[in-house]
Amino acid sequence: MRNIKLDFFRGLMLLTMTIDHCYSPWSRFTFMTFGFFTAAHGFVFLSGLLSGITMRNKAVKYGMKAVYGAASARRKLLYQYHLITLLSLFLVSMILVQLGVIDYSYYYDQGATLANQLFEKVVLGSVLLHQPNFLDILPMYIIFFFLVPVFVRSYATNKGVIPLLISVAIYIIYLTLYTDAVQQHINNTTPLNLGFFNMLAWQFLFFIGVFLGIHSKSGRLHRLLDHRGLQATTILLVLVLLAARHLGPYVHVPQDGPAHYVLNLLNRIRPVIGFLNFLIFAHLLYIITHMARARNWFTSRPIVMLGQHSLQVYTFHVVVVFFYFLAVQAVAHHLPSVDLKYAKLVFTPFVVLSIFIPALYQQNKKTAHTVSAG
């Protein structure tokens, strides 16, 4: 039976990400609200968790052949959505730039030749080596789904921890060799655009989710998560990190004291803190949902629908956010006296409401198929 509370949280992450991506005054209430992590952390982790649960169930019922088939089908579907969205926004951007409506978008540059545009945006984009803003999550997932069956097979052969250890080793490579700065340098100095997300880092969060999803029926795991001491530690750490996130900027730290040295160290390992902070907060959500399992908390139907149709909702949000920024540009051009933060304040709620459209469409399509099949 599908756990709709997980769908609820994934839907909530999509809703929050949409607000964050509008960069509006509303984002103050959603960006890093509960600590040093964003909705993207939750979205990637939950995608891995739900993938692990789904693939484990397939392995138990139908064997590993079904797992490989399901992973292959998911990769193809992800690629289709990615490619169609990329090409569509490239064509729209090209037309708007040529007409003089806009000067630039993530998908087309006015200054470059058409041949260069086709190579960089279309050819490299088609092989996942050009990833514009907001189109850099699906390419990661495509690569990750080549490895999800490895985790399932390791679980079936009682070697489930080995792929996770390899994931940890890759994360260490990210921290020491292929850092965010290295990837940014590649993006700035070559035709490649490997996106905002560093795959070597984010694979760790995704595959922790996969691992926990595969082992979600393990009594040993639940005993660990239900341990009173661990739960008390989690609650304490959540409160400390929450205070540090919101009160830290107001604390004066002497430039020559040990506290300044510690602060610099923490800034250097901020990505690690973000990952750990999210995992701690995820454990808190587990505690809350487990305590309230007899109640109907975290089951809002509209939010659940977003989570159940996350691929369609995510790609639709990319398109809507694109047109949102066109609208903001239009205000800046035609109404220069208007402060853009007010335009964003007005436009963002419409963007947020619009992402329910693909969820409703997919849900109605599913319902109609069920009725016709019955």
Q: How confident is the model at residue 111 (pLDDT cuts 50, 70, 90)?
A: low
Q: How far apart are CA 338 and CA 356, in angstroms?
A: 29
Q: How far apart are CA 239 and CA 245, in angstroms?
A: 10
State the pLDDT at residue 372: 67
Q: Report which listed range, 115-119, 193-197, 278-282, 293-297, is most confident.
A: 278-282
Q: Report which listed range, 52-66, 98-112, 152-166, 288-302, is most confident.
A: 52-66
Stretch 137-156: mean pLDDT: 93
The helix (H) or strand (E) run that includes residue 108 is: strand 108-109
8 Å CB contact between 267 and 259: no
DSSP class of 36: S
pLDDT tens track for 210-248? 999 999 888 888 889 999 999 999 999 999 999 988 887
Q: How far is CA 217 from the centre of its chain?
A: 25
Q: Taking the complete model, does pTM exceed 0.85, yes or no?
A: yes
Specify which residues 104 forms β-bridges with: 109
State the pLDDT at residue 218: 82
State the pLDDT at residue 355: 96
Domain ranges of the chain: 4-217+299-373, 218-298
Stretch 314-331: mean pLDDT: 92
State the pLDDT at residue 309: 94
Least confident among 7-11, 249-253, 268-272: 249-253
Q: How confident is the model at residue 96 (pLDDT cuts 50, 70, 90)?
A: confident
State the pLDDT at residue 265: 65
Least confident among 6-15, 113-122, 307-316: 113-122
8 Å CB contact between 185 and 177: no
State the pLDDT at residue 120: 80
pLDDT tens track for 24-56? 999 999 999 998 999 999 999 999 999 999 999
8 Å CB contact between 170 and 200: yes
User: Three-class SS of residue 105?
Assistant: strand
Q: Examine the pLDDT at 271 and tell me if it is beyond 90.
A: no
Stretch 331-339: mean pLDDT: 86
Q: How far is CA 160 from the centre of its chain?
A: 25
Mean residue pLDDT of the chain comes to 88
Q: How far apart are CA 23 and CA 321, in angstroms?
A: 10
Q: Examine the pLDDT at 189 and tell me if it is beyond 70.
A: yes
Q: Examine the pLDDT at 104 and tell me if it is beyond 70.
A: no
Q: Which two tokens stand for residue 164?
A: 């996770």
